[in-house]
Amino acid sequence: MYSKLLHYSLINTFILFLLSIFDWKSGLLKELFLADSTRINYLMLCLFIVVVFLGGLQTWACERDNARLSSSRVFAFIDASSSWFFIFGMIGTLIGIFISLQAVDATSVRDLDGTVGIITQLIVGLKTEISASVYGAVFGLWTELIVFLVNGADNK
């Protein structure tokens, strides 16, 4: 018998394994996470953990009741949440742009110390923009992949 819960668990474990190896080799994901001054990445991570947990619970319940997973309300929530990650990534990008532009003052450009302050603030804002966009895309694509693969398992 084909187990949907096993399929769901294997998908998430495999993706987590690949991301862990990537981060272990490069350290990029940790750096991107720590670079976010707004902490919107923490919000996305918490939402992602809830989505994966609810997905596992719903997969188990549908398997127990021999129901179609793709027709459940929780699965619709998981499907909708993939776009939320992209939206949170865009919000983080806009907040990062705002942070970058906060330091820009026409009077401070005239001296060297003011220019250094502007450049420093621009870098902080850019870090937030990039990290929020990357995490929004990674979590969104991960969730989309889960939806795609579980729909495929449902049709078997």
CA separation for the pair 66, 154 (Å, rounded) = 11
How far apart, in Å, are the Cα atoms of 4 and each of 14, 47, 101, 142? 15, 22, 48, 17
Q: What is the pLDDT of residue 70?
A: 60
Rounded CA-CA distance 117/97 in Å is: 16
What size, in residues, is the chain? 156
Three-class secondary structure of residue 155 per DSSP: coil
Q: What is the value of pTM for the model shown?
A: 0.73
pLDDT of residue 1: 44
Question: Residue ranges per domain, the chain?
Answer: 4-154
Q: What gap in Å lies between CA 43 and CA 97, rounded to an integer?
A: 19
Report d(CA 139, CA 131) in Å as an integer. 12
- Show pLDDT as tens, one digit a residue, over the chain (156 residues): 457 677 777 888 888 888 888 877 787 777 777 777 778 888 888 888 888 888 777 777 777 777 666 666 777 777 888 888 889 888 988 888 888 777 676 666 677 777 777 787 788 788 888 888 888 888 898 888 877 776 665 555
Specify the pLDDT at position 58.
76
The interaxial angle of helices 112-154 and 40-65, nearest 10 deg, is: 0
Helix (H) or strand (E) holding 117: helix 112-154
